[in-house]
């Protein structure tokens, strides 16, 4: 039997304020890269909860999601380890608070940056994923979907819920 293919689900935040976008600079096996505040969806949380958690961990800011920018599928091949990973990214846009004073950024995050679209386009070679640019471009084009586009069943929070058979 062939093993089931399972893409890794990630959440990402597209945060714009006064014409600049919030990115993080992070240490990766490929070197210092730029990314949206983003990360893997964890067990027991909705995608919306996941993006709020990731933004807090990576920036110290509290995010208020307002819309979904898009749902993206991408593939990444890491040459050094021969990993071949497919990611499904759910990208949210919204607003953030000021950083929490004294907040320690998540491991691997070097700093946060507010960059203009031109600066983001010019730094494409340093993006952790081509989706960094794609999500920003879709946001700038006005692409928005309601938060309820992605529904989270109660069983995610309580796996012992019995469903009718």
pLDDT tens digits, one per residue of 26-84: 999 889 999 999 999 999 999 999 999 999 999 999 999 999 999 999 988 777 777 88
Give the whole-angstrom CA distance, residue 104 versus residue 3. Answer: 39
- pTM, 2 dp: 0.91
**Sole residue written with tokens 């994923």:** 129
pLDDT tens digits, one per residue of 5-30: 889 999 999 999 999 999 999 999 88
3-state secondary structure of 104: coil
pLDDT of residue 36: 98
CA angle (84 as vertex; 83, 89 as ends), nearest 5: 120
Give the whole-angstrom CA distance, residue 113 versus residue 148. Answer: 29
CATH 3.30.70.1450 applies to domain 8-147: no
pLDDT tens digits, one per residue of 88-101: 999 999 999 999 99
């Amino acid at each position: 039997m062939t093993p089931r293919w399972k893409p890794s689900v990630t959440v990402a935040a597209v945060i714009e304020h006064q014409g600049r976008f919030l990115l993080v600079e992070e240490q990766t096996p490929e070197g210092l890269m730029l990314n949206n505040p983003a990360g893997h969806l964890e067990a027991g949380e909705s995608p919306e909860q996941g993006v709020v958690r990731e933004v807090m961990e990576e920036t110290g800011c509290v995010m208020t999601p307002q819309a979904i920018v898009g749902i993206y599928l991408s593939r990444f091949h890491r040459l050094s380890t021969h990993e071949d990973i497919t990611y499904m990214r759910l990208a949210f846009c919204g607003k953030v608070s000021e950083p929490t004073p004294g907040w320690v950024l998540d491991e691997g995050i070097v700093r946060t940056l507010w960059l203009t679209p031109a600066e983001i386009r010019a730094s494409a070679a340093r993006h952790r994923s081509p989706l960094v640019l794609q999500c920003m471009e879709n946001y700038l084009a006005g692409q928005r979907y309601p938060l309820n586009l992605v529904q989270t069943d109660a069983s995610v929070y309580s796996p012992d819920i019995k469903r009718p058979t």
